[in-house]
A and B are shown apart, each in its own frame.
Chain A
Amino acid sequence: MINKIAGSMEDAVADLHDGASIMISGFGEAGVPDELIEAVVAHGATDLTIISNNAGTGEHGIAALIRENRVRKVICSYPKMAAAHHFNARYQSGELELELVPQGNLACRIEAAGSGLGAVYTPTGYGTILAEGKETREIDGKQYVLEYPIHADFALIGAYAGDRWGNVVYRKAARNFGPIMAMAAKQSIVQVSRIVELGELDPETIVTPGIFVGKLVLGSPVNAGESA
């Protein structure tokens, strides 16, 4: 019998190891798997590479991992945010490596990893300092930059509901990077607000098929005032 449901946050992140690369879903606060990140902090794994759109703000989430000095490198599109003081301090002291990637290139490089592609030619960034030193090619009169896939050992994903086969649906704009990160990591760990019986999710509307999910764990209810 397939049962991907982990009994606790601690169990969900039990396979983590030092030096791991970890994708973390979310855009702003929407879709950030807060409790899974807290579990990573508690787990103690260090020397991590974090792949996420932002680099955390305040004292929780990715910011907490950076504060606890667990992160060696961040790959993201937009680390500059209000209250990103832990990122700023470690970046400016040179303790934290940053690979800045245009958001769409971040998305397509993650998709390339999940889809088994060797690389992608993308028009984004051509002629800018973010493409310096990279191979370029003219295709049908347009210029492209060669960008390589971003793989990860783990993906931590915040979603809405899932079943024991790992089928997942999301809520509103909290979907963002979840579905593509789930495809790109060796083990995807999904935090949901509801665990439902097999068959309860409409097969027509499942967003992330269970094949992309390694573990599923029950987290807190949806983060918004509005219900459903």
Chain B
Amino acid sequence: MNQDKAVQRLSREDLARRVARDIPDGAYVNLGIGIPTTVANFLPADRETVLHSENGILGMGPAPAEDRIDWDLINAGKQPVTMLTGGCFFHHGDSFAMMRGGHIDICVLGAFQVSVRGDLANWHTGAPGAIPAVGGAMDLAIGAKQVFVMMDLFTKTGESKLVDHCTYPLTGLGCVSRLYTDHGVFELGPDGARVIELVEGLSIADLSRLTGLELAMAPADSPA
């Protein structure tokens, strides 16, 4: 954990805002349960984004007013939602074909751990006695054209969640292309992690020390 007050860590809201900035006009996007869902609040109004929900919705809209709640119209987290004009419904076979078949442009997920090569662990801590539940996590991880992960870079006890090898049970291998954290943004791939952005007050040397990883900045011409 970084104790240095000069490091301007991103708030959860700013992190969601940062992810939203990288979602282009016309993209078909799946936002995972939990923190990733908040990205929807920051999608720029001048872009048309089509949100996919694993339970059979394209064109999902925000939460309804309390008197308009319809329990046949819920998101993957089982919360009531609305439909945008132009949206549609389909069954689970089609919904997961959209993921597995590479039709979803971007999927945004949370994580327990991400490896520098893009392995993802986000479904199970492996703790003895825990009820295992996977839902659509593994399908989302390997299906979308691009998988973004958003998370705090460190656990509450200061351990880096960006790691050389995941120690939690894996969700998917080499599937995460971009990692957005409260300390910076990373590009992940077969050659390892490269830093695209650092928050103010943080140097690449600090980040390497804190994570225990040998990190380098991506070349300036790298797509950001």
Chain A residues near B (Cβ < 8 Å): 27-31, 53, 77-81, 84, 87-88, 91-92, 98, 100-108, 110-111, 122-130, 170-180, 207, 222-226
Contacts and interface: CB of A to CB of B under 8 A. Distances in A.
Contacts of A126: 142, 172-173
Given A124-B142, A178-B91, A224-B70, A79 B131 contact: yes
22 contacts: A77-B133, A77-B134, A78-B134, A79-B131, A92-B131, A100-B132, A103-B134, A104-B138, A106-B92, A122-B100, A127-B170, A130-B134, A172-B83, A173-B55, A173-B73, A175-B91, A176-B91, A177-B91, A180-B92, A224-B72, A225-B68, A225-B69
Interface in B154-175: 169-173
B67 interface: yes
Which of A28, A104, A127, A128 has its CB near the most chain B CB atoms (within 10 A)? A104
B190 interface: no
Contacts of B71: 28-30, 223-224
Contact of B170 (A29, A128, A173): A128
A80 B133 contact: yes
A104 B100 contact: yes
B139 A176 contact: no
A90 B173 CA distance: 33
A176 B73 contact: no
Interface of B: 53-57, 67-74, 78, 83, 89-93, 95-96, 99-100, 129, 131-139, 142-143, 169-173
A175 B169 CA distance: 32
B90 A111 contact: no
Nearest to A91: B131
A135 B41 CA distance: 43
A173 B56 contact: yes
B135 A179 contact: no
A172 B89 contact: yes
Contact of A179 (B83, B93, B142): B93
Contact of B172 (A78, A127, A176): A127
Contact of A107 (B73, B93, B129): B93
B169 A128 contact: yes
Contacts of B169: 128-129
Given A79-B133, A104-B139, A124-B100, 17 more contacts: A27-B55, A28-B78, A29-B71, A30-B74, A80-B133, A98-B132, A103-B54, A103-B135, A103-B136, A104-B143, A105-B138, A105-B139, A128-B169, A173-B55, A174-B72, A224-B69, A224-B70
